[in-house]
Each structure stands twice: as C-alpha cells, then as structure tokens.
Amino acid sequence: MPQQCVSAHTFRLRADCTSRSRESGLAHGEATCWRVHQLNTGAGRSKVAATTLPRLRTTKQITALAQRLADRFESEGDGDAAWRLYELAAFYLGSDDPRKHRFIDAMSRSFDEAHRGLALTRHAVPYRGGELTAMRWGADPADLAQAPAGTPTTLVIMNGFDGYAEEIIDFASHFPTRPFDIITFDGPGQGHTAVAGMPLEPEWEHPTDAVLDYFGVTSAAALGVSFGGYLVTRAAAYCPRITHVIAFDMMYRLLDGLTVPLPRALRPIANAVIENPRPARLIDAGLGMVSRLSADLSWKLQQAQHLTGLNSPSQVLRAFGDYTMEAFEGRITQPCLVLAGDADQYVPFERLGDVRRALRNAESLEVRAFHHAQDPDMAQHCQIGDLDRAFAIIGEWLSGRQPRSGA
C-alpha cells in the first residue's frame, strides 16, 4: 500500500474547510475534513477537495457530492478514492436510511479492490449473539526479520467514535516499518458492528478478549485511536494479555467531547449539568434548544443515540458518564505511551494531568505533548496534521528505540 503522506497543503485544506463548516453551521466539520483530507493524491482529487468542499453548506450536499464522486472514481478504477468517498457519503445518514447500508457495502468493496495483493483478511468474530467486524494485516516479513528483540509481534488497534475498520488499516499504512501483525476490529457501537445494530458498551475488555481469543493471541500491544484512546486504557486495565498501551491520543472522559467546543468560562456549568442530567425532561428540552443552535452538538447527540441505542439526550449523558478513566485509576501496570496536543478539537489539554494520575502505576509512562505555537500539525486531534511522524513515534516506542529529535 502506498504511503498516504499528509502534506502541509492537506492540513491547510482541512483547517480551512473546518472553519467554513463552522461558519455555515455544517454538522461535524472536523469529521468531514478528517475523511476528505486524504483526497489530495491522484489526478483531479486535489482540485475537487480544494474547490468544491469549501462551498458545501449542508450535510445533504456532502452526501450527494460524495456519492457522485465515489461512483465516478469507482467506475474509473480508483478504489482508493472511492472507498473514502463512499464512507463520507454514508456518514451523515441515519441508521434507518437504506442508502447507508448500500454505501458502506460499496466502501468495503472499493477498499478491498484498492488493497488486493496485501496480506489483509476480513473476519467475523462471534460476540454476544452477533459478530464483530475485524481485519488482520500480516507483518511485513523484511521488517519482522530486522525488528529489535522485544518488539511486540501483534498490535491491536482500537477504533473510535465514528470510524470503520477500513480507516484504521489506512491509518496503519503510515507506520514506516511494520514488524508486527495488525488486528483491528469494530467493537460494539462502532463502524460495521454499529450498523448491524450492536450498541456501545463500557466494559471494553470483553470485546477485546473475544478478538484475542478468536485470533489465538496470547499477548499483544494495543493502540487506541481517538475515542479508542480511552477504550484501550479500559481494556488494558482488565486484560493482562495487553503488554503495551498507546493512547493516540489521550482521552480521559468521553463527555469532554461535548464541552470542548464551548467557551472555557462556560465549561464548569456545562460539566455540572452533564454530570447530573436531572430532571431528564428539562435536560432533554435544554439540549434540544442548544442543538438547534449548534449543528456540531446536534450531530454528536444524534450519533450518540444511534451508537448506544438510547432514545434521549439525558439517557445518553448518563450512559456516557461510565466512560471515564476515573473508574480504573491506578489499575494499569503496562508500559504506556500517550500523545496529546493543546489544539485538540475533542480533548481538553488540561486533562493531561488526570491521565498521568490514572496511569501512575504504569511500568513506564512516556507522554508526547505537542503545542500549536511550536508544532501545529501535531497539536491537532490524533496528530492528524502529520500522521507519518505520529506513527514513526509510535513505531519507535514499540521497538524500544529512542525517539528522533524534534519528534
């Protein structure tokens, strides 16, 4: 698979379309740009992303454009562009919209076509009467032969709040070397598994154990992307087969994602409401009013209700309260790597102290903190401005090598 270099042009495009999305009230502009930023490769794709995306004003326009472009690229044999666009076309559709399933199927089909020839296999892991979608990418034999002693032979990568296993494999292509098998899965409430109707659950060690059992893995490093940065710590606290923990990037509490967009002075008030969502009717009415003013919050609440299978914002807030590292502070004893940025769009940088406290009993703790003033590409959520560099840091840590200067 060719490396998808995230260039400075791409980062500027992503920031620009995010800004325009917010100005126009477009729901979840960050998620849109996350998926479109990789379209700078290939003939014509950069022009499409740079000239068309910033003019979009509604999610319906995004869906229509993404479908049209996906169909075009697929007909031209460009599966790499098509799968990304089919995923974007499905992104804003409700779970009851038949187009969502059709676009997700097309995404998987195009992804497989684009990655033929790789040591990549799909799997259905039995779990709670249903199935978890999983993918396995075999280690590069040359990299494996040269790996330093002690490098994990398996890396499990955990998904986030709104992604699919295909995206995780694409992220993993940024590793400069790959001396380990990569296993990723859509757990309950994620990706393909959510589309199939299995809701999110807080005890993440259970789906993790099911995946490790299925593949016969007795020990593995584990990496969590975005919301997966929380899930990986939860799994590691109760799953001794996890030998190394990587939070990419940190997430202490899921509910922070609802308060980060607010002015700092309003966050304590919002936190007080979130932490005690009663009386439910008043909370639901209040959030309904606020969500009409904030397309971003409206999308988050809609997505949260879909992933959890719950019917009201107050129920979601109570359920999301279970997703916090406070519940297992001090339980994690494995070596840990934490990445964080002070321009993260979803995680308050001041949570870094809480994360350090929660990981106080780790065998070792390396924190790579990035600041927008000195390193804007790496200060974003999941260091999205320079994935090549982020994955180089992760790979070096897993191999026991010292990080490069300036990393």
Question: Same domain for 336 and 246?
Answer: yes
Domain count across the chain: 3
Give the end of a domain, one of 320, 337, 364: 320
Question: Same domain for 101 and 166?
Answer: no
Give the end of a domain, one of 303, 320, 337: 320
Query: At 241, is the secondary structure helix, strand, or coil?
Result: coil
Question: Same domain for 131 and 244?
Answer: yes
Question: Same domain for 36 and 94?
Answer: yes
- Rounded to an integer, what is the distance from CA 302 to the centroid of its chain? 18
Question: Same domain for 202 and 350?
Answer: yes
Average pLDDT (314-336) is 92
Question: Same domain for 159 and 209?
Answer: yes
Mean pLDDT score of the chain: 84
Q: Residue 189: inside a domain, yes or no?
A: yes
pLDDT at 19 over 60: no
Question: Same domain for 261 and 250?
Answer: no
CB-CB contact of 185 with 134 (8 Å): yes
* Cα-based distances in Å from 385 to 10, 15, 83: 8, 10, 21
Q: Residue 121: inside a domain, yes or no?
A: no
Cα four-point dihedral sign 112, 117, 119, 123: positive
Question: Same domain for 143 and 222?
Answer: yes
Question: Same domain for 20 and 146?
Answer: no
Beta-strand relationship, 365-370 and 242-248? unpaired
**Each residue of 198-248: pLDDT tens digit?**
999 999 999 999 999 999 999 999 999 999 999 999 999 999 999 999 999
Max CA-CA distance within the chain?
61
Question: Same domain for 65 and 109?
Answer: yes
**pLDDT band at residue 307 using 50, 70 and 90 as cut-offs:** confident
Residue tagged 């089909």 (tokens): 109
Query: How many other C-beta atoms can be found within 10 angstroms of the C-beta atom of residue 264?
Result: 10
Judged on CB neighbours under 10 Å (0-12, 13-18, 19+), 86 is buried
Domain around 53: 8-113
Question: Same domain for 27 and 50?
Answer: yes
Give residue 405's pLDDT. 36
The type of residue at 197 is G
Contact residues for 98 (Cβ-Cβ < 8 A; gap 6+):
none
Angle at 13 between CA 9 and CA 15, to 5 degrees: 120
Q: Residue 406: inside a domain, yes or no?
A: no
CB-CB contact of 161 with 227 (8 Å): yes
Q: Which of 10-19, 217-226, 279-288, 320-329 shows the lowest mean pLDDT across its residues?
A: 10-19
**Each residue of 150-200: pLDDT tens digit?**
999 999 999 998 899 999 999 999 999 999 999 999 999 999 999 999 999
pLDDT at 271 over 90: no
pTM, 2 dp: 0.87
Question: Same domain for 301 and 381?
Answer: no
Nearest to 275 by CA among 326, 240, 217, 343: 326
The C-alpha atoms of residue 43 and residue 283 are separated, in whole angstroms, by 49
**Each residue of 345-368: pLDDT tens digit?**
889 999 999 999 999 999 999 999
398 or 46, greater pLDDT: 398
Give residue 3's pLDDT. 32
Q: How far apart are the first and last CA of the chain?
A: 24
DSSP string, 144-201: HHHPPTT--SEEEEE--SS--HHHHHHHHTT-S---SEEEEEE-TTSHHHHHTTPPP-
Give residue 401's pLDDT. 65
282, two tokens = 């008043």
Q: Which of 142-156, 269-283, 341-355, 359-373 shows the lowest mean pLDDT across its residues?
A: 269-283
Q: Residue 16: inside a domain, yes or no?
A: yes
Angle at 35 between CA 3 and CA 270, to 5 degrees: 130
> Tell me, what CATH number does 172's domain have?
3.40.50.1820
Q: Residue 49: inside a domain, yes or no?
A: yes
Contact residues for 155 (Cβ-Cβ < 8 A; gap 6+):
180, 181, 182, 183, 220, 221, 222, 223, 398
Give the end of a domain, one of 49, 79, 113: 113
